[in-house]
Amino acid sequence: MSRPVNEDAVDENAFNAFEAAGWESKAAGYDEFFGRITGRLVGPLLDGAEVGSGSRVLDVATGPGYAAALAAERGASIVGMDLAEGMVSLAARLHPGLEFRRGDAEALPFPDELFDAW
């Protein structure tokens, strides 16, 4: 018996490519417009995740790297990851010395239990 075709199914690769392309073109504008807004939420987010000295943090969808940078200021070791190379480049430029890389949140290239918070 064959499964019915789901005409509403989303092509995950096409969607990820669409998302990455959209964020590529918005990296600088995101920082300029949303930076002050989203930056205010980072402290409470890290407090809730109990991020502090010695924590190992994966900042998924890091964007401009605000959470990664504040986690590092608190003494955490961090890796920031984003689907869009433009966001990774922006984060690396804004926060030199921190590790940022391009990657897919649905296919994390890390072993289980490597991070305390993500």
**Residue 19 pLDDT grade (very low, low, confident, very high; cuts 50, 70, 90):** confident
Q: What is the mean predicted confidence (pLDDT) over 66-71? A: 95
Distance, in Å, from the CA atom of 89 to the CA atom of 76, rounded to the nearest integer, reads 21
Q: Which conformational region is residue 50 in: left (phi greater than 0), alpha (psi within -120 to 50 degrees), or beta?
A: left
The per-type count for the chain, helices as H runs and strands as E runs, is: 4, 3
Residues whose CB falls within 8 Å of the CB of residue 56, separated by 6 or more in sequence, listed in order: 76, 77, 78, 114, 115, 116, 117
Domains of the chain: 12-102 (3.40.50.150)
Distance, in Å, from the CA atom of 81 to the CA atom of 41, rounded to the nearest integer, reads 18
Res 95 pLDDT > 80? yes
Q: Which has more pLDDT, 18 or 3?
A: 18
pTM score, whole prediction: 0.77
